Structure 1
Amino acid sequence: MSHILDLFKPMIPSLINSLHKGQAGRVAVMGGSKEYTGAPYFSGISSLRIGSDICHIFTPTEGGTATALKTLSPELIVHPIEKNDPSEIIPWLLSLHVIIIGPGLGRSQGAWNCASEVIKAARNINLPIVLDGDALRLVAENLEIIKGYDRAILTPNFVEFKNLSDSVKKMMGDTSNNLLKPEQVASQLGNITIVQKGKEDLITDGNQVILCDNEGMPRRCGGQGDILAGAIGTMFAWSQLYYKYNNNNSDKIQENEQQYPISMISSFAACSLLRHSSKKAFEKNRRSTITQDIINEIPKCFEELFPESL
Structure 2
Amino acid sequence: MTPAHQLCTVPSIVSAVKSFIPPLTTDKYKGQAGRIAVIGGSKEYTGAPYFAAISALKVGADLSHVFCASEASVVIKSYSPELIVHPLLEQMCLNVSRVIEKARSMKIPMVIDADGVHLLTIEPDIIKNYERAILTPNAVEFSRLYQSVLGKDPNCGVDTVAASVSELSRAMGNVTVVRKGAVDIISDGHHVMQCDGQGSLRRCGGQGDLLSGSMGSFLHWSSMAVENDTQEPTLRKHGAGACAAYAACLLTRECNRLAFRDHGRSMTCSDMIVAIHRAMVALYEEGSEES
Do they superpose with TM above 0.5? yes
Cα gap change, 1:193/1:28 in structure 2, threshold over 3 Å: closer, same or farther?
same
Offset, 1:284: 0.8
Residue 196 (1) aligns with residue 182 (2): no
Tell me how far apart the structure 1 counterparts of residues 169 and 178 of structure 2 sit (CA, whole Å): 10
Offset, 1:259: 2.4
Q: Determine helix, strand or coil for the equivalent of 2:182.
A: coil
Residue 272 (1) aligns with residue 255 (2): no
Which of the residues 216, 222, 242 maps onto 1:239? 222
Q: Determine helix, strand or coil for the equivalent of 2:275.
A: helix
Match of 2:196 in 1: 213
Match of 1:303 in 2: 281
Tell me how far apart the structure 2 counterparts of residues 52 and 177 of structure 1 sit (CA, whole Å): 39
Tell me how far apart the structure 2 counterparts of residues 58 and 175 of structure 1 sit (CA, whole Å): 35
Residue 31 (1) aligns with residue 40 (2): yes
- Contact kept, 8 Å, 1:162 with 1:179, in 2: the verdict is no
The answer for unaligned runs of 5 or more in structure 1 is 85-109
Which of the residues 27, 42, 51 maps onto 1:18? 27
Offset, 1:262: 1.5
Q: Determine helix, strand or coil for the equivalent of 1:198.
A: coil
Match of 1:79 in 2: 86
Offset, 1:177: 6.9
Match of 2:76 in 1: 69
Match of 1:261 in 2: 239
- Contact kept, 8 Å, 1:165 with 1:179, in 2: the verdict is no
Q: Determine helix, strand or coil for the equivalent of 2:86.
A: strand
Tell me how far apart the structure 2 counterparts of residues 176 and 74 of structure 1 sit (CA, whole Å): 43
Match of 1:92 in 2: none
Cα gap change, 1:114/1:289 in structure 2, threshold over 3 Å: closer, same or farther?
same
Q: Determine helix, strand or coil for the equivalent of 1:199.
A: coil
Match of 1:90 in 2: none
Runs of 4+ in 1 over 6 A off after TM superposition: none
Q: Could you state the TM-score of these two structures normalised by the residue count of structure 2? A: 0.90
Tell me how far apart the structure 2 counterparts of residues 308 and 169 of structure 1 sit (CA, whole Å): 43
Give the letter for the 1:71 counterpart: S
Residue correspondences, number:
273
1:95-106 matches, within 5 Å, as none
Tell me how far apart the structure 1 counterparts of residues 24 and 153 of structure 2 sit (CA, whole Å): 53
Offset, 1:178: 2.4
Root-mean-square deviation (Å): 1.7
Q: Determine helix, strand or coil for the equivalent of 1:261.
A: helix
Tell me how far apart the structure 2 counterparts of residues 209 and 68 of structure 1 sit (CA, whole Å): 40
Which of the residues 152, 155, 162 maps onto 2:133? 152
Offset, 1:241: 2.0
- Contact kept, 8 Å, 2:200 with 2:260, in 1: the verdict is yes
Tell me how far apart the structure 2 counterparts of residues 257 and 281 of structure 1 sit (CA, whole Å): 30
Tell me how far apart the structure 1 counterparts of residues 12 and 117 of structure 2 sit (CA, whole Å): 30
Offset, 1:306: 1.2
Match of 1:50 in 2: 59
Q: Deviations over 1:130-188 (max 9, x none)?
A: 10001101001111000100000000001110111110123xxx589728611100000
Tell me how far apart the structure 2 counterparts of residues 112 and 307 of structure 1 sit (CA, whole Å): 39
Tell me how far apart the structure 2 counterparts of residues 243 and 260 of structure 1 sit (CA, whole Å): 11
Q: Could you state the TM-score of these two structures normalised by the residue count of structure 1? A: 0.84
Residue 161 (1) aligns with residue 139 (2): no
Q: Determine helix, strand or coil for the equivalent of 2:57.
A: helix
Residue 292 (1) aligns with residue 273 (2): no
Cα gap change, 1:257/1:306 in structure 2, threshold over 3 Å: closer, same or farther?
closer
Tell me how far apart the structure 1 counterparts of residues 185 and 56 of structure 2 sit (CA, whole Å): 22
Q: Determine helix, strand or coil for the equivalent of 1:260.
A: helix
- Contact kept, 8 Å, 1:183 with 1:204, in 2: the verdict is yes
- Contact kept, 8 Å, 1:119 with 1:145, in 2: the verdict is yes
The answer for unaligned runs of 5 or more in structure 2 is 1-9, 159-163
Q: Determine helix, strand or coil for the equivalent of 2:81.
A: coil
Q: Determine helix, strand or coil for the equivalent of 2:68.
A: strand
Match of 1:103 in 2: none
Tell me how far apart the structure 1 counterparts of residues 11 and 260 of structure 2 sit (CA, whole Å): 23
